[in-house]
Amino acid sequence: MKKILVAGPLDLTSQAFVRQLHDNPTLSLTVYTPSEVALPAGVVGFTGETMDEGGLSAAMLDQDLVIALAPTIHLTEIVKTIVTAAQAVAVPQVMVSRTDDIDDLPREVRAARQLLLVAGMTTDLVEGFGSLSALLGLDVVPTPMAVDPLFDARFAG
């Protein structure tokens, strides 16, 4: 069973991603987030700031993979903290996902990539939960759309 730590703030979208991970029977999930959130039964939860290296290191113990969720504005600081904590407890793999689509901070993204390149472990910097799911080899099941009979009738041959 692969042990995964998800670290960072959890909005509704990231909570859905956590549920998707939890539903995979080959994964054991731990969450480290700055605020109390409702987690599925069986998910271990820790409350702490993503910039708290000591708390992160403790949550990372015995994990196979750390997934860090980070806003672009704090990306470099968070990556530095995540990498340092992961190195301290010998986590073999770190994935960092930007939680927004801010494009006007290219230096922040570049600095984060450079930190990950020299981290001494397998690392990835991705954008979005679809990219994370693909790298993890998870099936991304699209949400079925409701049938609209009027729409279908107008465009039927």
pLDDT band at residue 152, thresholds of 50, 70 and 90? low
Answer yes or no: is pLDDT of 45 > 90: yes
CATH entry, 2-154, from 3.40.50.720, 3.30.2270.10, 1.20.1050.40, 3.90.550.10? 3.40.50.720
Query: Is residue 156 predicted with pLDDT exceeding 90?
Result: no
In the predicted model, what is the mean pLDDT of the chain? 89
Q: Give the predicted TM-score (pTM) of the model.
A: 0.85
H or E segment and range at residue 17: helix 12-22
Give yes or no for residue 9 having a pLDDT over 60: yes
Angle at 94 between CA 93 and CA 100, to 5 degrees: 155
What pairs with residue 2 in β-bridges?
A: 27
